[in-house]
Each structure stands twice: as C-alpha cells, then as structure tokens.
Amino acid sequence: MRILFLTCLFGVAGALHAADRPNFVVIMADDLGYGDIGCFGNESIPTPNLDALAAAGMRLTDYHSNGSVCSPTRAALVTGRYQQRAGVGGVISAANHRDTGLAVEEATFADVLREHGYATGVFGKWHLGYAPEFNPVRNGFDRFRGYVSGNVDFFSHIDQAGYEDWWWQDTPHPEEGYTTHLITKHGVAFIEEHRDRPFCLYLPHEAPHYPYQGPNDQPIRIKGDPGNVTGERTDIPNAYREMIVEVDKGVGEIVETLQKLGLAEKTLVIFCSDNGATPNGSNGGLRGFKGQAWEGGHRVPAIASWPGKIAPGTESDTTCLSMDIFPTLLDAAGIATPEGSAKLDGISLLPVLTQQGRVGDRTLFWETGGGTAVRRGPWKLVIDRPKKKKEFQAPEAPQLFDLSTDLGEKAPVDNPGVRAELEAALEAWRASWAGVPQRS
C-alpha cells in the first residue's frame, strides 16, 4: 500500500535518467551552535574540513532547524513538513516514549528517492521511534546502522534508560567503536558500495551532544543501570572541542571518498545542525540556547557544496529550514513534489544554491516546550516560556523584534499591525495540525 501511495503521490514521470541523477549526502551534527565552527566565526576549534566545504560551496547564514531540540527537527527533515504534522512536536525519550514515533503514514525523502531508483542509507542517530514500525528500514532506508535513542554513550552505546542502543537494520547489533568514527566508517563504505548507482546518504551525528566524550575516553554507562554513570569528563570545553574535531574529520573523509571515486561533481553535500548549542557551546552571540525559541535555539550553521553547480565561496541570507532539504533533493533529482493533503511545507532551495533565483518571504513557525516563534521577513514574534526548576513556566507576553537591525533580539519593537498579523498566522498554523496526536 505504501509503495502505491508514494507512486500516486509523487509520480514517476519527469525524474532524470539514472545516469544523470545526482547523489546526495546530508550530514547533520547534534547541538552544534551557530558559532561552533571556523567558517561561522569560531577561532578556537579547528574545523578545516568544514571550512573547506564552505569555501568550495555556499554558506547559508539564515538557516534554521525546524525544532530547537532533537526529534522534531529530524521529523521535519525527513518528511519535508512541519514536525507537528508527523506527530513529533517534542523529544521522543528513551524512558517515556518507547512505543511512539514518527507517524507511519508519513513519506520520507528516502521513501521517494528509493522509488526512483536510489540506494538509501542512514548511519547514526535516528531518534524518531524505538519500536520496529518506526525503524529507518520501515521508512524508506535500505540500510541502517546506528541508534534510535537521543542520548547514547559514545563507547558502550547504552542510552539514558540503560538500554543497549546500536542497531543493524531493525535488530540490536552491538559494535565496538567510538560513535562518530563508526558513523563515518559506515558512510564511506556505503558510498564505495554504491558508486555505480544514484545514492542518498544521511549521516546524523551524535556529537557534540552529551555525553561529552572524546575519542580517547572510556564508557560512562553500563547496560541495565541508567543511574550508574561514572567517569564523566569535568573539562567539558576540551571534550566538546574534541567531539567537533572528530565530526570535522569525518566530513573530510566523506568528501575525500567522493573525490577519490570521481563522484564529487555528481554529489550534493549538505551539512547542518539539528538545533542550537547548549550553554557549553557557542551560538555566535545570538540570544538563547537549545530548547528555546530565541535565535540561538534554532539558527544553526549550514553549508551546501556541489562542484560545478554551486559556485565556490558564496553565501546566501535566504531564510530556510530543515524541512526545505526534502524538496531540494527532489528538485535536484527532477522529481515532482506532491500536492493535496500530503503537500510539503518545505520549498526547494536549488534556485538559491545555484544562484538562479530567490525564495520569497514566507511565514515560518517554531513551537517547542521553551517557547513559540513566528517569522516573516525581518519580523519575528517570540512567546517565551522560561524554565525554572526543570519545569516550563506560563508563556510570557509576545515580543516583536526586527531582526534586520536587532539580530540579538535585545530591543522589542511596538508595531501592533505586524504583531496582529503574525499572531493570526500562528493561530491558523496551529489549527492546520490541531487534529494530529503528538507522540512525544
């Protein structure tokens, strides 16, 4: 049924011939802030490979994660729709949500690309459901090696609830190694195996998310005893730095593999983060952190590279979100996007990346436990929900900011007309998914 549904939804006409279809590599860091890498202003953490990727392609300086925490952004990225439509408005936790996940009726970019002849693989952090029906191999991916939780020991691969969480396809399958290295290793192997056919590779890293463990550290968790955490690093800044360095090295290995196999000019590579940094990282002077609706919670570094298609050393201030990646991949592959009830919320960024067009202003929305935001052009409405003693407080009064003159969100402005328009848009948006059960 799902195959027929997808064929009807997206069609098969119009796609490029197999020999002309580009490959796709989507790499996503975890909790990486706007100011955590060199090409976005960091001067203390060496990221030569990411800097080279940016120099060879385009920096997206107004790119945002759909959510300001893990699961929501991942749902939006793989479905091309607001995460609330897929029932993932919040984090799917190991302790409380083991029977919930991404709505099974949602189509992912892997579903669609596989229907059009692509090999599809994901290696790393899934975080969209624990039960078999939510597994990546049930959601369009041919291959999955990684973990389904969101907070896993980098060495023992034990999650925060004490479960062993390292999978091969839809079966737990332990594997020794540092998580970041394993993700890169399996990504390289997937490229090498599928060098002669179109492929889509999704590499969602865990780093630099907690637990803060560098490549030479030891496990801190043991199976079946989630409360027994020993040997944690106390020099968090150094551990955080080491984790980002290893992600950067992994990006270099992926790019080197593409170049070695003569695939670089046939491959669109996108790098991004799933949300802003915690206070342990850098959001580049932006207000707020992970979990909040302020810019620091969701404006994140993003890079796109495609030699011969994307001009080197370019940048764009187009406002874009995680959910735009799905339609961008389809557009690059010559596959039509759907209409009707399953219409994507995201839009293709291909004209922006190739500098052949611009994207008009959209009204965009963020909603998380820590607050709500609405953006239209330079205007941003923020409804903050402060957290005290681990509990979110009642929403504060809405505040309006003009990001063109106040990117730090320091000085609210009084514009009743704009505020009323954004508040009305927010209510209409909420009504559009009000009937969808939120599974987190």
Rounded to whole angstroms, how far apart are CA atoms 422 and 432? 15
Among 64, 70, 97, 205, the one annotated catalytic? 70
CA 420 – CA 153 distance, rounded (Å) = 46
Active site residue 70: yes
For the question of residue 127 being annotated catalytic, the response is yes
Q: Tell me whether strands 119-125 and 399-402 are parallel, antiparallel or unpaired.
A: unpaired
**Catalytic-role residue among 64, 97, 116, 127:** 127
Torsion-angle region of 61 (φ positive above 0: left; ψ -120 to 50: alpha; else: beta): alpha
d(CA 119, CA 226): 37
Q: How far, CA to CA in Å, does 168 sit from each of 135, 142, 152, 175, 191? A: 10, 11, 16, 9, 17
Catalytic residues: 70, 127
